[in-house]
Amino acid sequence: MSGQISGQISGQISDSIAKLTERQIEVLKLVIEDNKITRKNIAEALGIAESAIQKHLKALVVNKIIKRVGPKNGYWKILIKL
């Protein structure tokens, strides 16, 4: 992961980000690096189950941090300014 992206996420002070767990922030960093990343790839990168990834992605969507655009071949749109 690039230091710039990591610094941007870590340095951002926002109510939405403040509500996130450490794992959700890790998921967000991966999505920012590759907005077409799959749940499977996130799960492999973090070493956790895809079902857990789905819950973390849902939390990011509910907090209006990311949004899914398109179906299977879609991508994640980042809704916050970095």
Report pLDDT digits (tens) over 24-54: 999 999 999 999 999 999 999 999 999 999 9
Asked if residue 7 has pLDDT above 70, the reply is no
- Mean pLDDT throughout 60-78? 93
pLDDT of residue 19: 81
For residue 74, which of 55, 61, 59 has the smallest C-alpha distance? 61
> What span, in angstroms and rounded, lies between the C-alpha atoms of 15 and 12?
10
User: pLDDT tier at 8 (50, 70, 90 boundaries)?
Assistant: low
pTM for the full predicted model:
0.79
The 3-state DSSP class for residue 11 equals: helix
- Show the tokens assigned to 4: 């710039």
CATH architecture of 3-78: Orthogonal Bundle (1.10)
Q: 19 or 66: whose pLDDT is higher?
A: 66
